[in-house]
Structure 1
Amino acid sequence: MNTEWKPNNWIAVLFGVLFQPFVFLYVNRPRYFFFYLALTLCCVFLMQYPASTALFSEGGKAQYWPYAITIACAIHAYILSANYDVSQKRSWCARWWTTLLCVVTVYSSLFVTKTFFYDFYSIPAASMSPALNPGDYVVVSKYGYGNYSYAGIPVLQTKSTAAVQRGDIIVFKKPGNETTDFIKRVIAGPGDKVYYQHKRIYLTRACDGCSENELIDNVEIDDAAESEFSMYQETLDGKLYTIQQNTNRPDYTQHYYRQPGMRLGEWIVPAGHYFVMGDNRDNSLDSRYWGFVPEQNIVGKAVYIF
């Protein structure tokens, strides 16, 4: 009978080592499950947060925290199972197979969500400042872009059906370095012509009747009186965003990507490709230097920043 049931001590230890918080479902203590889950998530977040990464690196004061949580779960679960009160009501999840089912369900849902729908990315550098700064996180919508991966491991490649628009911030695999995710702003799409000169963007859109070399609206909102950077508001296809430039630093035109048949600093975006730039214009290695982003390399679009 349910009132005579008692969790197995060694199954509790095994589950505590392998599944950490989920073991407390098996030993019929759901409140501890939520406690250890919150503790684990806090630890994971701190490990990803740039300001505290050093604490979890080799030699850091917190490098053994994950192991400590695992050991604590196993020992605590063993104590609870050894001293289990058989008269208490048995929860539906207090079975080894339902606990395993919960583990599989949660991790499968997490895998599907992060692979095909939404994922989190941390910002390691300042190439997209001021919109994105080191330590910021972005939620990236991946559905429809066709480049599906989990934790950097390719899972599925399909034809892209999502619309990429000028002004979007996208995550992508840089051509020639497809193990690393990059994040930049889309400036031009297939068939567009871009001319970048004196820190200004001139754009000829790929459409009938579009004007030649339209100067992208760029208004100074903060000069460099107290810092090396000046802030400008740029408007591209109705999207308003802020960029920063070091007006004292010359453009490194000698390092620009040279497209055959085009003058220096001018590019025509090929079919199925995009031209991207960082908002921190003088501290961004982007399409000006290495060329275009193939459509199949796009991972997703940034939809939320925190």
Structure 2
Amino acid sequence: MANIYSILLTVVTILAGLIWWYDARVNKPQRLAKITAEEERLQETLSEDAQQRIAPQGRVAEFCQSVFPILFVILILRSFLYEPFRIPSASMMPTMLDGDFILVEKFAYSLRDPIWRHELIEMGQAERGDIAVFKFPPQPSVDFIKRIVGVPGDRIIYRNKTLYLEPACVNNQQECPQIQVVEKNIEPQEEVYFNGSRPLERYSEQLGHVSHDILVDPSVSPRVSYYYQQQDRTTAVDEWVVPDGHYFVMGDNRDNSEDSRYWGFVPEENLVGRAVFIWMSFEFDQSSNRFLPSWIPSGIRWHRLGTVE
């Protein structure tokens, strides 16, 4: 849906620009010639209202002239700088909640054209701990948001709800990193999160230079039988080695997230950008006895506005 909007915005902007350009290059000289001839006949300078009556600009061309600069600015901002997204699920709790509206930094990793998404300029590399928006590999028309856990070459193990990481061994390293437990420390909960009626446990976790919170549902058993299996490697069922040009992502709500554990890796070309700011956060908890539809916000979570980690 997001890509369809990008295509539509691009097409409409180009169409408006072409109509405006054609009017300026072809129709406008004709209108000016008509006005000049009338002024010579009357031997006086016509007012703007009179000029408009004698040689009016077409409504379509006038509309395109008015909206094209606005559309062009929106297209540039949305395609190359920042794009708004809405969080539609609970997979990134507690970092992001259903109803959060975020800004995604489009130039964080690369600049791509808005239609075919060909890379124009490489800007940087995704890092562990980044919250990334990407095209869902099994269905590229859908945008997903998850946290990057593994970068190319990393060995990832998720066993008994504990994350293990063996960072990639870079060629110039004299000693390769060893596998390490990604420590999670229990956090006091000012706000309790639930999966249905079941309370979730909250932990803090450190990935690279990013410290963030995760949620774990102690009542849910690991769904190992559903884990994605690498066909070209003899790894354990709960172990993955991130290929070159790919990333391993997980949701912060570990037991309620459809992520790389179940469908595999995110290709680098699928990355859209990095989530950097929550600019609005709505509550959608209309009571059953209210006549308003469920999609109308019931309140604003002002305390959630700001940067994300």
> Normalization by structure 2: what TM-score?
0.65
Once the two structures are superposed, the pairs formed by residues 210-249 of structure 1 within 5 Å of their partners are: 210-222=176-188, 227-249=198-220
- RMSD of the alignment, in Å? 2.6
Q: Which runs of 5+ in 2 are unaligned?
A: 1-45, 280-309
Correspondence for 2:66:
102
* Residue type at the aligned position of 1:162: G
Structure 1 unaligned residues grouped into runs of 5+: 19-95
Tell me if structure 2 keeps the 8 A contact 1:231–1:244.
Answer: yes
1:42-81 CA deviation, whole Å, 9 max, x = no partner? xxxxxxxxxxxxxxxxxxxxxxxxxxxxxxxxxxxxxxxx
Match of 1:276 among 249, 259, 275: 249
Kept in 2, the 8 Å contact 1:222–1:230? The answer is no
The AA in structure 2 aligned to 1:247 is P
The amino acid across from 1:252 in the alignment is: R
Where 2:65 maps in the other structure, the secondary structure is: helix
- Secondary structure at 2:141 match in 1: strand
Conserved? CA contact 2:109–2:126, under 8 Å:
no
Q: Which residue of 2 aligns with 1:113?
A: 77
Question: How far 1:245 moved relative to its partner?
Answer: 0.8
Q: Which amino acid aligns with 2:262?
A: Y
Asked if 1:296 corresponds to 2:296, the answer is: no
Write the deviation string for residues 87-144 of structure 1: whole angstroms up to 9, x where unpaired: xxxxxxxxx75x6433111101111211122100111111111111111111111126
Q: C-alpha separation between the residues in 2 aligned to 1:188 and 1:159? A: 23
Amino acid at match of 1:168: D
Q: Which amino acid aligns with 2:143?
A: D
Q: CA deviation at 1:167?
A: 0.1
Question: 1-side partners of 2:91 and 2:278: how far apart?
Answer: 15
Partner amino acid for 1:265? Answer: D
C-alpha distance in structure 2 between counterparts of 1:294 and 1:4, whole Å: 59
1:222 CA drift (Å)? 3.6
Task: Verify the 8 A CA contact 2:82 2:103 in the aligned structure 1.
Answer: yes
Alignment size in residue pairs:
221
Q: 1:292 to 1:4 in 2, by over 3 A?
A: closer
Confirm or deny that 1:266 pairs with 2:239: yes
Paired AA for residue 249 in structure 1: V
> Following superposition of structure 1 onto structure 2, how do residues 48-59 of structure 1 map, counting pairs within 5 Å?
none
CA distance in 1, matches of 2:193, 2:77: 46
Call closer, same or farther: CA 1:5–1:134 in 2, change over 3 Å: farther
Partner residue, 1:174: 136
Identity of aligned residues (%): 35
Shift of 1:229: 0.3
How far the C-alpha of 1:157 sits from its partner, in A, is 3.9
Residue of structure 1 equivalent to 2:91:
127
Distance 1:149 1:134, change over 3 A: farther
Deviates more, 1:99-108 or 1:114-123: 99-108
C-alpha separation between the residues in 1 aligned to 2:220 and 2:165? 23
Distance change (3 Å), C-alpha of 1:222 and 1:3: same
Change (3 A) 1:109 1:225: closer
Matches within 5 A, 1:72-111: 97=62, 100-111=64-75
| TM-score, length-scaled by structure 1 | 0.65
By how many angstroms is 1:237 displaced? 1.1
Structure 2 residue identity aligned to 1:188: G
Which among 242, 251, 261 is matched to residue 222 of structure 2? 251
Query: For the residues of structure 2 that align with 1:235 and 1:186, how far apart are their CA atoms?
Result: 12
**Structure number having the greater helix percentage:** 1
Tell me by how many angstroms 1:236 deviates.
1.1
Is contact 1:192-1:269 (8 Å) kept?
A: yes
- Which whole-Å deviations, capped at 9, do the CAs of 1:30-49 have from their partners, x for residues lacking one? xxxxxxxxxxxxxxxxxxxx
Q: Take 2:94 and 2:50, find their aligned partners in 1: how far apart are those partners? A: 59
Match of 2:126 in 1: 164
One-letter identity of the residue aligned with 1:212: Q
Contact 1:255 1:289 survives alignment (8 Å): yes
For residues 237 and 225 of structure 1, the distance between their equivalents in structure 2, rounded to whole angstroms, comes to 26
Whether the 8 Å contact between 1:116 and 1:143 is mirrored in structure 2 is yes
Corresponding residue for residue 83 of structure 1: none
User: Alpha carbons of 1:113 and 1:272: their partners in 2 closer, same or farther (altered >3 Å)?
Assistant: same
User: For residue 156 of structure 2, what is the aligned residue in structure 1?
Assistant: 194
